[in-house]
Structure formats: structure tokens, C-alpha cells
Structure 1
């Protein structure tokens, strides 16, 4: 493998407090019932626009909730986050093995860059690919198409590591090998059905992929 694309939420960091807390804030601002954070973890991974549209029940409502969500997330929520144990060491070992490392997240790039810098992970990656605030490249299929065009990487010699089905769907659309991680928010059943070719149980196994 010459290139490894890695998801952010649920793969490198656990974003549950920040994402679910901001969802609660957006729901409250929108006048909707506010469930417990544990009931909102299904929103971690998919494009946030889609999750908010589902919660609001309409396209217009979802768009308004996105504004409220970002009010809190941009200042507080993005740092209510935790690097998974073993990730810094695993990234260092993976990079030492030779492949070029990139982040590929549906989270807006401006937030992803701040998170990775804040937690000292940015140094491991050549580039950080994320969506734009206007929604461009929010789907993993579009994001990876853009990343491949920007980097010139051969998809046949690349892998995508992530914790949700969207990572596998995006990777397989371009002939990239999808690898699933089980410490995030996707179940083994979800990842297997999506076509992940291998499932990892702990971060230390990342360095064994090559």
C-alpha cells in the first residue's frame, strides 16, 4: 500500500460529547424534544446535514438546525473530544512503515484541521481532506474522488480506514481497499455488510496492515 486514507470521528478520536452535545443544543434551539446523548450516537459518522434533516423532519428545518449546531460546535464542541488510546503510537508506526497518510473525513475541513492540530495528530498526515461548509464533498464517495485527484494516488494501492459503512461505500466506489475499526460507532454487522475487507479490534493493529 502506497497511501492510507483515515477517517477522523470514531477512528482517530471519540467525538461523542461534542457532537451529541451540539445536537442537543440545536434541538433545544429548534424547539424539539432533546434526547439523551446516548440516543444520538447514530449521528456520528454520516454527513451531519443528513442527520439534522432526519431530526428536524424537513430540509428547511435541518438547514436551520445546522446553523445552531455550528454555533456551539465551532467554539466548544470540536474540542469536546478524546484521542483513542494508542492512536498516536499507531500512526507513528504506520507512517514509519512507508505509506503516505491522509485524513478523509466528512466533517468540514476547517474543523478537522483545528481538531488534529489541537490534539497533536496533524504532523502524521500529508494532507487533511474534509467537506466544505457549503456541503461540497460531504459524501465519502465525492470526498475520496477529490482526494485521489488532488494527490494522484493509485486507488489500487490505497486503503481507507474507518468505523462506519460510509467509509466502505466511498472506498469501494473507487477501488480503494476498505478496512473497518471496531472501537468507533459502527457495529461489526454494519461494517461487514458494507464490504470492509478486514476488521480491527484495537489501534495497535493499524501498524500491522502493511
Structure 2
């Protein structure tokens, strides 16, 4: 019997509707289609971070999440994979996106497959994937998919076919990573033996 897979999706768009949520929905749909094609049972939940903005601020100030935010954080921690999408602000992710991962425990994403996506007005911001998002998730020790998906305003018109190809490639990589998931390797140097104990044999 195939184990049910769980996927968490976080979208940091600030408006309704937003191109960020649109990209998150396209990535989610592609992952669903891929899992359906493999006959893999799954559960997907999409979280709009704008709806948690006040809770995130309060968590940063007090150190404690609200019940709603706590449930979202728990789902993300327990999920088999994560899709994370942000609009581009000043050549980086926006503050709402950063706040969410600031309140998440540093070890929560260790070994977790993550598909990253970003939106922006022009193609010149596409490097946000490699110069902002990848370093963030590398610090959190997540396994970031080789294909990140950036969507500029021009990608939603006649060029949507090219965007769709990137979305499908990224979705396939994420589903492959979920299927090939292995236990996280323990860092042998994380808790070194004190030097005096080594001297004492």
C-alpha cells in the first residue's frame, strides 16, 4: 500500500488576486497531476501568508504562535514536501515570506524537498531564485529542487507555454524527490566529544 504524501504550499502574495498565488496554484496543480499519474495518494494544503501577517508579527514579538499559526507551522514541519512562492521585493523575497521562515524552527526543514518560485514585474529579477531563495533554504538545510520557477509579467500572456514547461519540470523533480526520500543523515560533527574526554580515553 502506497503511503499518502503531504505537500504544504506557502504563498506570500500581498494582494487578492495575486500573480504569486497564481504561480503557486500552477505549481500545485502540476504536482497533483504528477502524483495522480503515478497513483500516489496525497494531501495538499495551501496557505496564504497575508492571512497570517498579524499572527507572524505577534509571534516575532512574543515568541509564541497563535493557534492558527501554530497549526500551519506544524503542517509545514510534518509535510513530505514544500512549495514556497514569493513576490520579488528589492531583488529579494518579501518581508512576509521572511517572517514566516524566521518563526519556523531552524531544523524544521532539514532534508525536506522544497520547490521554490517567485514572481516579479520584469525578467531582470529572475536571479532572486539563486541569490535569495536558494541561500535561505540552504541555511535551513532543505533539499531545493534544481528547477526554480520565476514568472515575470510577460510570462502570463503568449509566453505561458514556456512558463508551463518550467512548472511541469519543477513539479516532476519535486515528486521524484518525494518518492526517493531517504532518512536524514545525522551530522557526526554536530555534537563533538569534548577534548578533555578524548584525552581521558
The structure, 1 or 2, with the larger RCO (C-alpha pairs under 8 Å, 6+ apart) is: 1
Between structure 1 and structure 2, the one with the greater Rg is: 2
Task: State the TM-score, normalized to the length of structure 1.
Answer: 0.39
